[in-house]
Amino acid sequence: MQKRTLFVLLITLFFFAACSVSKYNPDKKYSPEQLRQDYSLLRNILEKKHPSLYWYTSKDSMDHYFDSSYQSITDSMTEAAFAWKVLSPTTHQVRCGHTSFEMSKHKLVKRAPIHVFPLQLKVWGDTMVVMSNLNKNDSVIKGGMVITSINGMNNHALIQQMLNDFPLDGYSDNVNYIRISSNFSLYYNAIFGSFKNYQVGYIDSSGKEQITTIVPFVLDNGNGKNKKGRASVSKKLSKKQRIENVRSMVIDSSINTAILTLNTFTKGKGIGLRSFFRSSFKKLKRDSIRNCILDLRFNGGGDINMYVLFTKYIRSTPFRVADSAYAVARTMKPYSKYISQSFWDNLGLFFLTRKQKDGNYHFGYWEHKLFKPKTKYHYDGNLYVLINGSTFSASTLFCSAVKGQKNVMLVGEEAGGGWYGNNGIMIPEITLPNTKLRVRLPLFRMVQYNHVVKDGRGVEPDYFIPPTVDGVQKMIDRKMLLVRRMIRNSITDSSNTYHGRMVN
């Protein structure tokens, strides 16, 4: 756990504290005038090109957030400070998971060590549990402990403040609990700053709340070693390992069950999704595998065509991708020079969309094309789909398309992607001219086929299996274990109603 945590920290530094081999200085401050120029440009582009700027936040409220953030720029800031103090709260208010910022593009080189909050925490609801303590010599805070406060801020207030700095679809915060948990140390630093020491509240072995003082962990982000010279654990993966990390299938013959892991719908890069889908479903049919566990808990989406192809193997009736899919502009002009791949996106918008009576530019193919289920190798067995907050974008489209089907059960937690709809299809990047910060710009609003009401929630599981303190302490995969128990107990009677049930 310690080595894995260090590896994650080092990789995340590309996002937080990258610097170029030339003259890039992450501590450089930009003048208020430069920052206002960048922010005004971003606002203009979002107001004219974003298809859903006011989907969940009214125009009056969005104008208020824009104005107040602009007025808050009264002093010079570093790139990171501008990103987290100004851009982050703004993009959060758009409530679009694909409208997010990234730091400027620079290569990582040696620089001064970073002092980070030393605890890696699993976060959900108002709960924070220690996954690891980077300070190995700390005799007080150990893995599995429940943390109740940091520097006088209790769990609820701390987590809520952190959530306000991340993008999300509508009101589905589940994705951000997972983001925060993925690297609590560095996210805490980015939002709250670095301290000489931290006052941490925790629950001791007797169940009483205590407070202790802990010191930062010193992380060297230049040569892959920490202060004591221990090398990082970065290892070059083989091509086979890289592919298996993205998609794989294994058979558990003891319960006649396939476990299919699919972490992306992105095609290319040697992943071979088309051939993988075909060979997997061929094997399921040939070997009469009656149960399949589909793990989508790390699937952040990807290519819509890949989602459609996969769904055709599962869905039992014809389907469309969207009830509506449209952009609000047909060109990136006059902002093309600030937007990546604008030439190709302009071509795509011109040839693939048509202006309708509502004044928007509709992508008719995704609205009207009816896709039929596969006849060859179609899977008709029992499908258990594992989902959580990281189930996003195209994987949310899949969950919506199969939810309610007789042989399909969604298991886990609310998906991070919007159930009613989301934004995407084409997602170029805006590069701000002064700070070089980048903001993703989805060009299409897509409302799901046979969509539910617009309440800002993600796709709900049929069986709700939340995290537990005990599960984190024991480092067990409760969702997988409980689904395997369902299969062992033959809980496949189609007359049962699973929606809304919680498994303890």
Q: State how beta strands 101-102 and 438-440 pair.
A: antiparallel
Chain region(s) in the chain for CATH 2.30.42.10: 114-219
- pLDDT score for 221: 58
Encode pLDDT of 299-326 as tens digits: 999 999 999 999 999 999 999 999 999 9
- pLDDT score for 491: 45
Encode pLDDT of 387-436 as tens digits: 999 999 999 999 999 999 999 999 999 999 999 999 999 999 999 999 99
Encode pLDDT of 63-90 as tens digits: 999 999 999 999 999 999 999 999 999 9
Encode pLDDT of 157-172 as tens digits: 999 999 999 999 999 9
- pLDDT score for 269: 67
Distance of CA 26 to the CA centre of its chain: 26
pLDDT of residue 492 exceeding 80: no
Encode pLDDT of 119-146 as tens digits: 999 999 999 999 999 999 998 999 999 9
For 155, phi and psi rounded to 5 degrees? -50, -55
Average pLDDT for 351-358: 96
Is the CATH code 2.40.480.10 the one for domain 239-502?
A: no
pLDDT of residue 239 exceeding 90: no
Superfamily per CATH, domain 114-219: PDZ domain (2.30.42.10)
Encode pLDDT of 28-45 as tens digits: 999 999 999 999 999 999
Buried b (16+ CB within 10 A) or exposed e, 196-227: eebebbbeeeeeeeeeeebebbebbbbebbbe
Cβ atoms 148, 196 nearer than 8 A:
no
For 6, phi and psi rounded to 5 degrees? -60, -40
Beta strands in 16-72 (DSSP E): 29-30
d(CA 175, CA 177): 6
pLDDT of residue 179 exceeding 50: yes
Cβ atoms 160, 113 nearer than 8 A:
no
Which DSSP helix (H) or strand (E) runs through 502?
Answer: strand 501-502
444 vs 22, higher pLDDT = 444
Percent of the chain with pLDDT over 90: 80
pLDDT of residue 473 exceeding 60: yes
Chain region(s) in the chain for CATH 3.30.750: 2-102
- pLDDT score for 112: 65
Chain region(s) in the chain for CATH 3.90.226.10: 239-502
- pLDDT score for 495: 41
Tell me the torsion sign for CA atoms 485, 489, 492, 493.
Answer: negative
CATH of 2-102, picked from 1.10.3470, 1.10.10, 2.30.110, 3.30.750, is 3.30.750
Where residue 185 falls (left for φ over 0; alpha for ψ -120 to 50; beta otherwise) is: alpha
**Which of 80-94, 233-247, 297-311, 487-501 has the weakest average pLDDT?**
487-501
